[in-house]
Amino acid sequence: MTVETTVDPGETPEPTIPEVDVEQQDFSVLVFMSQQGVFVFTALLLVFAAIFVDGFASLDNITDVFNRAAPIGIVAVGMTFVVISANYLDLSVVAQVATSAVLLIAISNSTNMLVGMLLGLLVAIGYGVVNGVAVGVFKANAVIVTLSTTFIGLGLLRWQSGGSIYFGDPDGVIATFGKTEVGPFPLAMVVLIVVTLAMHFVLTNTTFGFLVKSFGSNREATRLTGVSTPLVVIGAFTVSALGALLGGWLLAAFSNTAVSSMSDGFDFEALAAIIVGGTSVFGGKGSVLRTLLGVVFVSALTNIMVLSGYGFGYQQMAIGALIVLAVSVDALARKAGTS
């Protein structure tokens, strides 16, 4: 048995590899920003606006902010379920909100408001199931699926409505609802808060909400505990669709009109609110209460820009930049948290 001949020890080069720790940077600031930043920034923004922006702190303006925040807020609260389930986002809320608003006003005018609401509900369930089946059963990419169902939905709506604007009865229930205020709060804001609290309960206290979080955290581990994961995904997209349904109704009530283009940009504004609120696009973590705070931030920011004379183009740029910033912080914080 010949054993390996050992080499002359003098020849052996000394180990020259220094220990390099790559992950030595301190990420705690980023982690803090991604999780608690929204509280700080919202407070700072509101204080700043109250002091420096003319007209921000007036009662009329605050009511206006609430009125505009309510529809987008309910959409964002619903969509939070999709984001927590690690399916990125539901772009089809754009089509869903417009469809819900047009159905409500057009059918109220022609037939009966309740029929319009019922039809809207069926359409919302349809969206939830179609998006959910494509993503949950066929494992298609949620961004592409919901981008496509937006196309289908808006196409259908424009074909059926011919792109026309529907005006509601100025003395009807819808218009009245849109004008009602409880103190400084429009009724829409009350609806937003009630719905948010209900959704918070669903997310934190029910097995459904628990499974959405669990699926978002680790879909394979969740499947391997015997969960029917397609149902979880369908459920998350259906909650998002119900949020969009309510959002559409509130939007219709606020303006007492409906048109297929009225919800342009709702997808990204809702997403901005969700991730600024601190819900992670990687799934598994998040809260609808945070989303509500994100909505306050985004709406206040938009309002400040309007009051300061920055038009729609600037607002779009700000929302876009906000999303890039927030998802980058989210990704860095996640990396810091796992390393």
Residue 207 sits in the site that holds another protein (CB under 8 A): yes
Q: For the CB of residue 232, give the shortest distance to another protein in the complex, in Å.
A: 12
Between 3 and 182, name the residue whose CB sits nearer to another protein.
3
Bridge-based pairing of strands 257-258 and 166-167 is antiparallel
Q: For the CB of residue 117, give the shortest distance to another protein in the complex, in Å.
A: 25
- Say which residue the tokens 């306050």 belong to: 296
Q: Which of 205, 312, 328, 335 binds another protein (CB under 8 A)?
A: 205
Closest listed residue to residue 106, CA positions, set 174, 156, 155, 153: 174
Between 14 and 26, name the residue whose CB sits nearer to another protein.
14
Between 6 and 24, name the residue whose CB sits nearer to another protein.
6
DSSP state of 89: -
Record the tokens describing residue 96, joined without a space.
């869903």
Q: For the CB of residue 12, give the shortest distance to another protein in the complex, in Å.
A: 5
Element (H, E) at 182: strand 181-182
Residue 208 CB-density burial (10 A; 0-12 exposed, 13-18 middle, 19+ buried): middle
Closest listed residue to residue 104, CA positions, set 256, 322, 273: 256
Q: Which of 156, 223, 308, 310 binds another protein (CB under 8 A)?
A: 223
Residue 22 sits in the site that holds another protein (CB under 8 A): no
Question: Could you tell me which residues are beta bridge partners of residue 181?
Answer: 186
Stretch that binds another protein, among 8-16, 114-122, 299-307, 312-320 (CB under 8 A): 8-16
Residue 227 sits in the site that holds another protein (CB under 8 A): yes
Q: How far is CA 110 from CA 98, 113, 143, 273, in A?
A: 18, 9, 36, 36
Rounded-to-integer distance, Cα 210 and Cα 203, Å: 6
Q: Which of 96, 131, 222, 299 binds another protein (CB under 8 A)?
A: 222
Residues 139-198 that bind another protein (CB under 8 A): none
Q: Which of 23, 183, 220, 339 binds another protein (CB under 8 A)?
A: 220
Number of Cβ within a 10 Å radius of residue 29: 13
Site string for another protein, 265-284 (x = CB under 8 A): -------------------x
Site string for another protein, 282-301 (x = CB under 8 A): --xx----------------
Bridge-based pairing of strands 181-182 and 166-167 is unpaired
Contact set with another protein (CB under 8 A): 1-7, 12-13, 15-17, 205-208, 210-211, 213-214, 217-218, 220-228, 284-285, 338
